[in-house]
Amino acid sequence: MVAGRRLLITGLAASGLAASAANESRAQGPVQLRQTVTRPPMTDNSAIDVIGIRPGMGLDEVRRILIAEYGEGLNQAETSMTLQGRGISVMSQRFVVRLDHGKQDDEISVWFSPPTLGNTVVAIARNLRFPDFMRAPSLSDLRQQLVAKYGTPSEVRGIQNRNNSLFWSFGATGRSSVLQCLRTSCPTTGDLSFNTPWIYREVVDSGVHLAAMAETPAYSGEIKALGLRVRVDDVLGKALGIEAGITQLQQAIDELVQRAQGSQQRPRL
């Protein structure tokens, strides 16, 4: 089991009231995050997938696809969300945040939202390697496959004619402009961080809701592909899920403080 990241927002200095609330928090156990948000449906143009896995899919469906593609041996990582405020700290229940699978020269990681968004897919990262030069696909054929699957890229980056990085970005109503993709540096990390939710929100507010990237490193001579790295990031899903988690954890802190205030001793003076 791999340890996951935890959200940590610092709060006010501790006090006697905060200590009382903190004691009650430890007694009641983790906050049970529940689904309170749903991602708006994506347009047909932004239904991007990797081996059939796409943003919004649930945990069980992804497990079935990975086992069908790679066999047994699936690994999973769990995490929890933690929030500090008003001098106390609360933690959510543990939940699956990532599934890892693969075989020789083909590895994939799938990242999931907190339970607030239904514990659904928000990022995908796949790494393929082509160690046999003779059997490796040509760069031109591989790029044609990528364009056929994902459409015309929003941006292509490379040196001279190499063009080894292709980017796709989508907004609320479909493909977003190249300019929007450039402004946000095409956020394609293929993972999930609970520590920087404001970055996801800034990207969404810029007009990019979903982004994808494909890198095609090449053998010397730039004729054959040495590998393929694909990243898909549902930036809107990340923002919605984490923001809803923060809201529920903050509500738990407020309720603990309120109960602590009501149970304070009033000594005779």
Give residue-wise pLDDT tens across range 92-106.
999 999 999 999 999
How many secondary structure helices (H) and strands (E) does the chain include? 6, 12
Q: Say how far apart CA 53 and CA 180 lie, in whole Å.
A: 25
pTM attached to this predicted model: 0.84
What is the distance of C-alpha 149 from the center of its chain? Answer: 22
**pLDDT at 12 > cutoff 70:** no
Is residue 7 over pLDDT 60? no
How large is the average pLDDT for residues 177-183? 50
Gap between the Cα atoms of 110 and 98, Å rounded: 5
Taking residues 187-195, report their average pLDDT.
79
The whole-angstrom separation of Cα 43 and Cα 209 is 11
25 vs 104: CA distance, rounded Å: 46
Strand partners, 211: 169, 233
**Per-position DSSP letters for 135-174, written without gaps between them:** TSPBHHHHHHHHHHHH-S-SEEE-STT---EEEEEEETTE
**pLDDT tens digit sequence for 144-169:** 999 999 888 888 877 555 557 888 88
Mean pLDDT, residues 3-21 taken together: 41
Average pLDDT over residues 122-144: 93
* Whether 209 contacts 122, CB under 8 Å: no
Collapsing DSSP states into helix, strand and coil, what is residue 229?
A: strand
